[in-house]
Structure 1
Amino acid sequence: MTGSAAIARPATNTPPPTATLAQQALAYRFDALPADVVELAKQCLLDWFAVTLAAADDPLVRILASDAEEEGGKPLATLVGLGTRVARLQAALINGAASHALDYDDVNMWMSGHPTVTFTPALLAQAEGNRVSGRAFIEAFIAGYETAGRAGWLVAPGHYARGFHATATIGAFAAAAACARLLGLDAERTATAFGIAGTQAAGLKSVFGTMCKPLHAGMAARAGLSAARWAAKGFTSRGDILECAQGFAATHSADFNPERALGAPPNDFHIRNNLFKYHAACYLTHAPIECVKALRLNHAIQPEDVRAIRLKIDGETDKVCNIQQPTSGLEAKFSLKLTTAFALAGVDTAALSSYSAANAGNARLARLRDKVAIDFQSGWPHTQAEMSIELTDGRHFEARHDSGVPESDVSRQGDKLVAKYRSLATPVLGEAKAEALLSAVQRLEALDSIDDLLAHAVR
């Protein structure tokens, strides 16, 4: 197409965003990181291993692993859970897809996506066999996480609203930043890595409920790892990919907020706003689930006594997790009505087995599902919900919840994550290996080599 108008971004008083983002990513030093930030990084990593191990036998993983075996390549990196060794870029793709396969991984609302699943697989793939210390790994981990928050906020909210899955797109920049830090790139080559990652960044929300959604995390990991590796070898791209005409921001969002995105993050670190999942479904279903749990606990509501349920929630959820009549376990994770019915019927929303075709088609659950009426609100926080339940005897009960508030007690959060980890990892690894991996993650900063982690992460 000729003659198309190049969209130029307005001038700002901030330094060039791509170059600034590169400099920020390279600035983290372990000794300068606050203790709670280091602990949060380890919690994110433990949660990542938990959800990745639990997906080791997922059909998605089997398909990708089989394809990697057929394709071949130098076996330098481990597939978590399976133990198979494949080429580094293949490992980043497959481990990334696996870690998002169950939709049980962490979330950051500033990124508008799932941060840890995008850069952790890339870091592990690059670190394995290269004697990367735990401290160096944590520095790169924080570089990736903070880049996810900054790059996400640069183009929010228009980017996600336009139909892009930020886990895939923003995640590519996060993975590039993490790997650039790990590889020791300078700021110029890190900006180039962003340019390489940016032209690969892709992922559409329209495929939610299919295998392509978790694939996005793997695509981001592979794009970021390849971008950093290629930039290190002299591969060229633009060094201003975020802000240039026809660049990432211009083509992917109506919003462009460099002053906000590149300034001090909330609470000084984006990782302090990380949200862990304790329900194995889309995060935007969590507030309604918590409303139901509170109403059942406080008023002893029984499913058979419910006449009607009215849910108020932000209208953006209609585009993300409002599958009306899911037929598979994967679709069930993206159904506000069915997950509400699950919670009301006492189905364990933390259990992976709850999200099955059998439950999606269960007649009793379907009757409850169809009692849910959704009143979409404009401009609400995505993580907020209000619920009213009317009983057959005429009584009404109401509850509200915001699932976007991070846990203030990092130690208490750690205890909850250890329980989640054990419930997911032990059935895959067995108790001895699961506990050994847990111990290795908890003393990550003392490890001489990240290989000590991966040795325990296979059956």
Structure 2
Amino acid sequence: MGQAGATPPVTRWLAARAAGLKYGDLSEAAVTLARQCILDWFAVTIPGAAEPVVRILRDEILTDGAAPVASLVGSPERSSAINAALINGTASHSLDFDDVNLAILGHPTVALLPGLLALAEEIGADSNEVLTAFVAGYDVVCRTGALMSPGHYGHGFHATATIGSIGAAAACARLLGLDAETSATAYGIAATTASGLKSMFGTMCKPLHAGRAAQNGLQAARLAARGFTSRQDALECEQGFAATQSVNFNPEAAMLEAPFDHHIRNNLFKYHASCYLTHGAIEAGRALREQHGASSNAIQAIAIRVPPVTDRVCNIAKPETGLEAKFSLRLTVAMALAGRDTSAISTFEDVVTGEPELVRLRDMATIVFDETYPEAKAEVIIETSDAKRFTASCDAGVADTDLRRQGRKLEQKFDALVEPVLGRISADLRGALTAFGDGSSMTDVMKLARSAN
């Protein structure tokens, strides 16, 4: 880390950059991508609100009562902004169908947006202000990820929870209009409350991580606004966030001179309802089935070549629940080769883990780790009963540069997930979200996102 006096002032630099952002500073690409992130967040949160993890959380938290100032998405209920951030954040990650950025090896939007939306309802902010604050937080969360990569994630921290708390604080601080000094204080408050373990993947704690990040960030910004103190160099100081949670410290990457759309352009959207590091392998498996037409019965051997980072993330060899199935390379590849719809949330129910066809394919698969592969690349090799060998690969870490095409795919995903829950109202909500940042009232937007049941 070096001596404190010689250490670059990363925290204050990030805070000043985020605090100074204005809507007029945003590129067309940044606005488009932020809208797509927000649309996708609602797409996964509305059905996610019905998941058991969210029901348990609501039953526990709402018993205490709170001023009903913020919406619980996918529910007719309202609660305090802090409660809404926690519950909506957990709901948005409960299906593990939300977006990813490899700069943090985590999920940015589920950490950033829930607290922003709750705060916006509470203070009456419009969609322009929310979109600006979202982009500011997105920049900070990715730069903080770059500061500590790859050691932070490699050591066992779930970056969505930890680094996500910093980004959420940045977003909420920007929405509150805090200056650079007060924003840096908020980052320090968030840093000292941030926690989240990768060992919890496959359990209800993983979606809770997103809710806690949103809650931590919102509370940190509000406390800082009231005069609560912390260190303003929390990211870089001795025994600070980077020093205690990573062996890496890359201030030049964190403070890279680049526009605000630099990191959001690399946002990765999910089209399979499983851990993102399974997506390259799923796409490769689908390609093998579609291009070569090999029936699952004819497959006699499967090899899955992936980077080592997947080993402690999505390498559950014999999952026993639908949630664990989302973190199993072997089973998700088996599903792809068997023609199962991995984009449907109903596919990942507990029963899928015991289906004989899938178990047979799962158990014949071997995992090969290749250190030359980037984080989201995979290759799948199959051998058939007639001694043929087929190979396909996919790097799921490459973002789509055709934003119109991406927008159409995300609208289709939204309709598939939201219409069964909201019915005809889903089209009205989609229209409001595709125009997000037009100065619309957040109260009106959030009203559309609340289920009548």
1:75 to 58, 68, 71: 68
Q: 1:362 deviation in Å?
A: 1.1
Q: How does 1:92-171 map to 2 (within 5 A)?
A: 92-171=85-164
The farther-off stretch of 334-343 and 66-75 is: 66-75
1:374 to 357, 367, 370: 367
Partner of residue 434, structure 1: 426
SS of residue matched to 1:446: coil
The farther-off stretch of 232-241 and 446-455 is: 446-455
Question: Does the 8 Å contact 1:288/1:386 carry over to 2?
Answer: yes
Q: 1:266 deviation in Å?
A: 8.6
1:395 to 380, 388, 400: 388
Partner of residue 59, structure 2: 66
Gaps of 5+ in 2: none
How many angstroms apart in 1 are the aligned matches of 2:70 and 2:56?
Answer: 18
SS of residue matched to 1:191: helix
Residues 1:384 and 1:10: Cα distance change in structure 2 (over 3 Å): farther
**Structure 1 residue runs of 4 or more that deviate by more than 2 Å after TM superposition:** 8-15, 264-268
Matched residue type, 2:240: G
Residues 1:268 and 1:130: Cα distance change in structure 2 (over 3 Å): closer
The farther-off stretch of 125-134 and 384-393 is: 125-134
Q: 1:129 deviation in Å?
A: 4.0
Structural RMSD (CA): 1.4
Q: 1:451 deviation in Å?
A: 1.2
Matched residue type, 1:321: C
Q: 1:392 deviation in Å?
A: 0.7
Matched residue type, 1:76: V
Question: Does the 8 Å contact 1:311/1:386 carry over to 2?
Answer: yes
Partner of residue 333, structure 2: 340
Q: 1:267 deviation in Å?
A: 8.9
Matched residue type, 2:88: N
Partner of residue 5, structure 1: none
How many angstroms apart in 1 are the aligned matches of 2:404 and 2:342?
Answer: 24
How many angstroms apart in 2 are the aligned matches of 1:14 and 1:138?
Answer: 32
Partner of residue 18, structure 1: 11
Question: Does the 8 Å contact 1:9/1:250 carry over to 2?
Answer: no
Matched residue type, 1:445: G
How many angstroms apart in 1 are the aligned matches of 2:164 and 2:107?
Answer: 8
Partner of residue 3, structure 1: none
Q: How does 1:298-309 map to 2 (within 5 A)?
A: 298-309=291-302
How many angstroms apart in 2 are the aligned matches of 1:447 and 1:439?
Answer: 14
Q: How does 1:206-225 map to 2 (within 5 A)?
A: 206-225=199-218
2:219 to 226, 250, 265: 226
1:444 pairs with 2:436: yes
1:269 pairs with 2:293: no
How many angstroms apart in 1 are the aligned matches of 2:170 and 2:204?
Answer: 26
Q: 1:175 deviation in Å?
A: 0.4
Q: How many residues align?
A: 451
SS of residue matched to 2:400: coil
Partner of residue 423, structure 1: 416
Question: Does the 8 Å contact 1:99/1:117 carry over to 2?
Answer: yes
Partner of residue 285, structure 2: 292
Q: 1:44 deviation in Å?
A: 0.3
Question: Does the 8 Å contact 2:4/2:238 carry over to 1?
Answer: no
SS of residue matched to 2:448: coil
2:307 to 288, 302, 314: 314
Question: Does the 8 Å contact 1:440/1:452 carry over to 2?
Answer: no
Question: Does the 8 Å contact 2:72/2:79 carry over to 1?
Answer: yes
Aligned residues: percent identity? 52
The farther-off stretch of 202-211 and 311-320 is: 311-320
Matched residue type, 2:428: A
The farther-off stretch of 24-33 and 111-120 is: 24-33
Partner of residue 454, structure 1: 446
Question: Does the 8 Å contact 1:117/1:217 carry over to 2?
Answer: yes
Gaps of 5+ in 1: 1-7
The farther-off stretch of 65-74 and 350-359 is: 65-74
Matched residue type, 1:437: L
Q: 1:339 deviation in Å?
A: 0.2
SS of residue matched to 1:286: helix
Partner of residue 186, structure 1: 179
CA distances 1:20-53 after superposition (whole Å, capped 9, x unpaired): 0101111221112111110110000000001000
Question: Does the 8 Å contact 2:307/2:370 carry over to 1?
Answer: yes
TM-score (norm 2): 0.97
How many angstroms apart in 2 are the aligned matches of 1:71 and 1:380?
Answer: 49
Matched residue type, 1:94: I
Question: Does the 8 Å contact 2:110/2:210 carry over to 1?
Answer: yes
Q: 1:379 deviation in Å?
A: 4.7
Q: 1:11 deviation in Å?
A: 7.0
Question: Does the 8 Å contact 1:38/1:138 carry over to 2?
Answer: yes
